[in-house]
Structure 1
Amino acid sequence: MEHPHSGLSRDAWTRRSFVTVGALGTVTLAACSTSSENAAESEVSPSTTSATPSPTPEKEFAGTVEVYPALGEVEINPVEKVTVTSPDSTLTDVTVTTPEGAELAGELSDDGSVWTSTDNMLFHSDYTVSWQAADAEGTAGEGESTFSTVTSPYEADVIVNVTDGSTYGIGRILQFNFSEPVLNKAEVEKRIKITGGGDQAGKFRWYNDYMARYRPADKWATNSTITLNIDLFGLDIGNGMIGNHNTALSFNTWNKRYALADNLTKTIKIYVDDVLVRENPITLGNAEWPSVVGELPIMEKSESYYFNPTSLELEEDDEYYYEPFWASWTARLTSGGVFVHQALPTAWSSVGVYNVSHGCIGMLPEDAKFFYNTFGVGDIVETVNTGYPQADPDDGYGDWNIPFEHYSDSSWVGNW
């Protein structure tokens, strides 16, 4: 950034007009005669005018005062410092205010030559800078100027997919959604600090200019706390879009919960803290809709969820069309519609024997309820041996299927 005072017009200072008036001189008028008589008869006294005192000129302020931002400047970054500077005068008072009366804090240097703001400004606000100063001769001067900060069209914010104080499974992937495209990705990454959860090395992966994710090398530590400090206020993320907030939040993890669904055995094994606690029969995706493989954290849960075949672009005359229904004990694995849930009554005879679902993992009622009550958002469900690829990593949170050494390389493509 160039020096804040370079190329700036100086703020006008007040000058008082004055007029200099000269003293009036004394004028003597005399009448002359050719005879003594005439002289005697016509002798008169001299005529005079009195002098008027000259007014004292008022001194004008002879100092130099510079204000940054300059008069009329717009779209000023709120992290910029407001400065009022004089190389030859002493500043006696400086105030910076909004129309609402909010005053910007600042400090005056010991020699009175520089005033500097000490707080960040507000977005989309007008500021008025008012100053008073005395020049080397002690003559007072004053000035005023206005400028405005970044307006709403140039603000940028970010939303993260965890809630402060909440608890998740150890497979929770962090996702950052930006309101504006991020071009300065490396700078944004530097402004996001993630600590705790085992304090492992971690990496970002950018899926597009609006969305990035973060994961550690391995799953988060169990029963731990992870803290995020997102410091984007005043950062130009690209195209002049300025971050408008800082965020600090923490979330927790519970113990380890992991499920392995195997198409060869048509079973799902449920582990808690690496101990097998239950093994249930399942039905997976049929030949037309095979189940994806790989590790997928649970995205959301609901005791019931409305399944509509139109979400899969299935019409009534389609071979794989099904009547819409409310599924029970649901846990979502992909945005595209892969769930763990209770199978429909018409499919119960197929559970553990045949695959009849549209890609979901179906269970008998008691088994589905046990799974629902044991697993939560962020817990991992891994599916194997279906002969089908993985889900795209952004269809859900398939980030654990990307080798850590390739995670930051958004061009790297795996088995999906």
Structure 2
Amino acid sequence: MAWAAVAAGLAGCGAGGLFGDSGGSGPFGGFGGGKGAAAREADTIRVTPDDGARGVPPDGRLEVRVPDGRLESVRVRRVQDAEPAEVPGAVAPDGRSWRPGPGTRLALAAKYAVDAVAVDGRGRRSARHTTFTTLVPESRFIGYFAPEDRATVGTGMIVSFRFNRPVRNRAAVERAIRVTADPPVEVAAHWFGDERLDLRPERYWRSGTRVTVDVRLRDVEAAPGVYGIQRRTVSFTVGRSQVSRVDAAAHTMEVRRDGRLLATLPVTAGAPETTTYNGKMVVTELYEVTRMNGATVGFKDASGKSEYDIKDVPHAMRLTESGTFLHGNYWAGPSVFGAANVSHGCVGLRDVKGGSAESPAGWFFDRTLVGDVVEVVNSRDRKVAPDNGLGGWNMGWARWKAGSALR
């Protein structure tokens, strides 16, 4: 299967076209969206608590509001936990606000994601994604981790823990986390600093593998006087193999399913001044529609304003924590796809406003799992850092194992 660019469509958005990260390797901070004061000030969807807030009381204020128009949908969900759960709530009759149900209390030591879509008075949609974490008692620590229990993931999934406090006794914490597979395969751990621990096999998981994550952190002393509170077992299943190869020079993406070429799609990658990372990246989030604001990843004009702010980006798939996405693009001229690189670092597939399942972007989105691998080659940029998103596949096995506290 192959797609060619059509002969008519929407104009591109300014000198760039797409957007995302231009190459800077940012810190890992869970799998949330881009954050920044500039984006918050411009948001038409207002969320309380603020994006990235920590230590939120379980009975603290939780609200989503719009100054005009109406909220189309709001979803508040506990994430990166063995027991993900929806927060019950309702949109007010006037459509302007959402609040949790009476008597609702958030869980302690939990991470929550808020996803809201609104429609303004002129029928234009916008989306907002934020995250926050609730209070953890001072003498306790917790690991937020992915993937979730009972998930089906791609073969490139890496089990990743992010701890809310620095871990000084890495060996004790690492011993308390065991990842096993059926059929069996060696799984090794690698620390990225004092707050992140990733675990993976030497090569991508074999399709059909059932992976079990046994977390025994309760009463483990991670630092002087700081003890764990988690004790649980979760499992996930590895689905079919899908690895997609983006050739930034040829402007194409080959999608291979179980080793067989499924499709060749025309793409646009990073422009010469804002190139796309090379290397293996893993899909960590999927959004049918999301908002992207250049200020959150450093793209500002001379006046300090964002170079772009597109509120309804369709079919967005996150590849790095620092802001690289593979997403639908309805604003660039159709002749760009397969012919030129015009983005701010993302990889763009042709789409229509609102997103279409019949477009290349919609087709690919509907066939993508969290954990699928996208590899970029022939870009004039460096290789993505192993700690940027789930970039650990860019590190050799010997070096990976050397990052264990138990070596």
Instruction: Report the TM-score range of the alignment, normalised by the length of the smaller protein.
Output: 0.5 to 0.7
Residue pairs, 1:129-278, within 5 angstroms: 152-278=137-263
**Distance (whole Å) between structure 2 residues aligned to residue 233 and residue 408 of structure 1:** 25
Asked which structure has the greater CA Rg, the reply is 1
Question: Contact 2:153–2:372 at 8 Å: present in 1 too?
Answer: yes
Question: Contact 1:197–1:222 at 8 Å: present in 2 too?
Answer: no
Question: Contact 1:270–1:277 at 8 Å: present in 2 too?
Answer: yes
- Correspondence for 1:327 among 313, 322, 337: 313
Question: Contact 2:150–2:236 at 8 Å: present in 1 too?
Answer: yes
Q: By percentage of residues, which structure has more strand?
A: 2
Shift of 1:268: 0.4
Shift of 1:215: 0.9
**Aligned CA distance change for structure 1 residues 346 and 234 (closer, same or farther; 3 Å):** closer
Partner of 2:38: none
Residue type of the partner of 1:336?
A: S
Partner of 1:390: 383
Partner of 2:361: 368
| Structure 1, 311-320 or 275-284: larger mean CA deviation | 311-320
Q: TM-score, normalised by structure 1?
A: 0.59
- Correspondence for 1:285 among 270, 276, 286: 270
User: Is 2:336 aligned against 1:350?
Assistant: yes
Residue type of the partner of 1:356?
A: V
Question: Contact 1:347–1:356 at 8 Å: present in 2 too?
Answer: no
Question: Contact 2:293–2:306 at 8 Å: present in 1 too?
Answer: no
Partner of 2:345: 359
**Distance (whole Å) between structure 2 residues aligned to residue 257 and residue 383 of structure 1:** 14
**Distance (whole Å) between structure 2 residues aligned to residue 288 and residue 201 of structure 1:** 41
Partner of 1:377: 370
Question: Contact 1:206–1:408 at 8 Å: present in 2 too?
Answer: no
- Correspondence for 1:337 among 320, 323, 338: 323
**Aligned CA distance change for structure 1 residues 390 and 198 (closer, same or farther; 3 Å):** farther
Shift of 1:348: 2.0
Partner of 1:147: none
Number of residue pairs the alignment of both structures matches: 261
- Measured against aligned partners, the alpha-carbon deviations of 1:232-280 in whole angstroms (never above 9, x if no partner) come to 2222222121222311111111110110001232110011111101101
**Distance (whole Å) between structure 1 residues aligned to residue 216 and residue 297 of structure 2:** 40
**Distance (whole Å) between structure 2 residues aligned to residue 312 and residue 223 of structure 1:** 37
**Distance (whole Å) between structure 2 residues aligned to residue 263 and residue 228 of structure 1:** 37
Partner of 2:106: none
**Aligned CA distance change for structure 1 residues 323 and 160 (closer, same or farther; 3 Å):** closer
**Distance (whole Å) between structure 2 residues aligned to residue 158 and residue 320 of structure 1:** 34
Q: Secondary structure at the match of 2:207?
A: coil
**Distance (whole Å) between structure 2 residues aligned to residue 242 and residue 315 of structure 1:** 43
Residue type of the partner of 1:294?
A: G
Residue type of the partner of 2:323?
A: G
Shift of 1:186: 1.4
**Distance (whole Å) between structure 1 residues aligned to residue 320 and residue 172 of structure 2:** 31
| Structure 1, 173-182 or 281-290: larger mean CA deviation | 173-182
User: Structure 1: where are the runs of 5+ without partners?
Assistant: 1-150, 412-416
**Distance (whole Å) between structure 2 residues aligned to residue 409 and residue 281 of structure 1:** 39
Runs (4 or more) in structure 1 with deviation over 4 Å come to 316-320
Q: TM-score, normalised by structure 2?
A: 0.61
Shift of 1:325: 4.0
Residue type of the partner of 1:371?
A: F
